[in-house]
Chains A and B, each alone.
Chain A
């Protein structure tokens, strides 16, 4: 059904499969992200981009060459890249005097920019500088957000949603308990966001659940919030709309009581009219009298 709407048909089966993989689907696959280097980058920003790419491999593309793009002024270039590489998440890094060590996290809906958050790096510790063993590529990380700002402030709420979208891995139905090795911890405090990445060590405790010990790993960032571009409420709502096939259909007139028994409900047609009843009543009375 995907090839139906194209004026130019796919000539090979391989190209047809490629096009089908890019069509919108009922349940979507994991989002890919593109990590773009801006017009001028400092050493910090370049290393930061490489580290995030290492975290997000293999569902990420790194554009290492300089791209003279200003996302907040004109997002058409980003949208073009997104369309070509079929990525809906992006991370744009740049550096200039006014905004040093700038990272823009963003996501797209239908190849148009949905949300963008500009974060400045105040302190950065790279993967290379921390000399401990890392977890294998592609492990689904545990995500922890701390700080009441993530709940109260609207911008922080949106940022939390964006960061969850960015860093949560593929959607899985089951996870290996011993494989929960990586944790990303975000703390929001006084307008700053501290992102830390730790390796989880499961130690023996008295009972079944292990005791956790954390080991410093991976990139750690101290972010400061700069500009942002949030999607309007109705666009945000449209982006969340799920197609009909996904939600399980609720069965009507079936309920469960406290004991777990399944109760149904029948709707009866009221076949007896009040007049009919009266006549029956009258006949009874006469009978009684008799």
Chain B
């Protein structure tokens, strides 16, 4: 028993020594490993991995900066800071994307100003308001439509569309329509009017969205209207009722304008007998004659207008071929003569037949 005890004691002591040694050795090994990447700093850096940004608040020793070579000092400082930043980056969760190890970045913490202000929600258009009110949903339409005539799938609108009514060579005249009316022209005009109305409504929607005041009907689109224009617009609005303004009350200080209406001048009842006689004889002569009378001003204006139209169409045709030719001025005035009102409707040139469509 005496012999054994010391042996036991020694053995346990040795075991404890080696255990501590092992631990110490492990610690030293770890320290060795991390030696390469540890950097000691007074203050910890502030990191923003989302932006790959690091900020070092530590004081820089200006003496050291001036003593040793500048570039080396800066490079070593940069190396230390970059090492710390890289350590931080390696702590982020990684994943493997197409045989490449990629670190997932968190959201950036430094707030940077925006480029443009945030988009504002747009106010709904007139149609959108109505649709919301009625509960109308937008229906997604198919891109292609089956065209029976050509027996193929064609697009819903645009070039070579399914039901293209501009390509029709025959239009049936409806029962209640004038047989002399040009149906093709009518269709074109209706289309132009639809386009114009669509554009007008689009602009009104924009004006409403941007809260721009637009003058109402009857006024020029300029922001400043003259007194006369406004007065005229007021008068027009007043008589735009079913009873032509007869039952419209006046505003407190408004006076009903007198002397409105077309000015007519009448000859006195008992005046110049000879001129009255001449007038009556002329009237009878016109009624008797077989040939209708020619209103020269009107005829000339009409002719000028037609020639202008022709030259314009011809120009449009030659556009692609010969390029711009500069403005081809018509016969001087063009429409400047206007629809001259000659002596009151005594005779008219017979209505010219509608030209080729």
Contact = CB atoms under 8 A, between A and B. Distances in A.
Interface in A98-127: 107-111, 114
B86 A208 contact: no
B83 interface: yes
Nearest to A244: B118
Given A143-B53, A209-B87, A178 B101 contact: yes
B222 to A, nearest CB: 16
B81 interface: yes
B116 A212 contact: no
Given A28-B115, A175-B105, A208-B90, A214 B82 contact: yes
A31 B95 CA distance: 28
B78 A144 contact: yes
Interface stretch (A41-49, A67-75, A234-242, A253-261): A234-242
Contacts of A108: 115
Interface string A148-170: 10110000000011001100100
Interface stretch (B55-63, B305-313, B318-326): B55-63
Count chain B CB atoms within 10 A of each CB in A146, A172, A196, A202 and give the residue with the most. A146
B190 interface: no
B300 interface: no
A172 B78 contact: no
B328 interface: no
Interface in A179-233: 180, 183, 185, 187, 189-190, 194, 196, 198, 200, 202, 205-214, 216
A242 B118 contact: yes
A43 to B, nearest CB: 22
Interface residues of A, number: 71
Nearest to A29: B115
A136 interface: no
A168 B105 CA distance: 14
Contacts, number: 200
A26 B113 contact: no
Given A178-B101, A239-B113, A4 B206 contact: yes
Nearest to B119: A24
Interface string B217-256: 0000000000000000000000000000000000000000
B18 interface: no
B132 interface: no
A206 B56 contact: no
A141 interface: yes
A23 interface: yes
B257 interface: no
B36 A109 contact: no
A32 B57 CA distance: 30
A171 B206 contact: no
A165 to B, nearest CB: 5
B31 to A, nearest CB: 10
A216 B33 contact: no
A177 interface: yes
Contact of A180 (B54, B86, B203): B86
Given A146-B56, A146-B60, A183-B78, A207 B112 contact: no
A25 interface: yes
B149 interface: no
Interface string B19-38: 00000000000001111110
Nearest to A151: B57
A4 B60 contact: no
B51 A25 contact: no
B74 A196 contact: yes
Given A144-B81, A173-B105, A200-B82, A205 B36 contact: yes
Interface string B115-129: 111110010010000
Contacts of B108: 171
Contacts of B113: 107, 109, 114, 161, 165, 236, 239-240
Given A7-B206, A240-B114, A211 B81 contact: no
B176 to A, nearest CB: 38
Interface in B71-124: 71, 74-75, 77-79, 81-83, 85-87, 89-90, 94-95, 97, 100-105, 108, 110-119, 122
A144 B104 CA distance: 20
Contact of B116 (A24, A144, A185, A209): A24
Given A145-B54, A241-B117, 8 more contacts: A110-B116, A146-B60, A164-B112, A176-B102, A185-B81, A206-B32, A208-B90, A216-B71
10 contacts: A143-B53, A144-B53, A146-B60, A151-B57, A160-B55, A161-B110, A185-B78, A187-B74, A200-B86, A206-B33
Interface of B: 32-37, 50-60, 62, 65, 71, 74-75, 77-79, 81-83, 85-87, 89-90, 94-95, 97, 100-105, 108, 110-119, 122, 125, 203, 205-206, 209-210
Closest 6 CB pairs of A and B: A206-B33, A243-B118, A205-B36, A239-B113, A24-B116, A185-B78
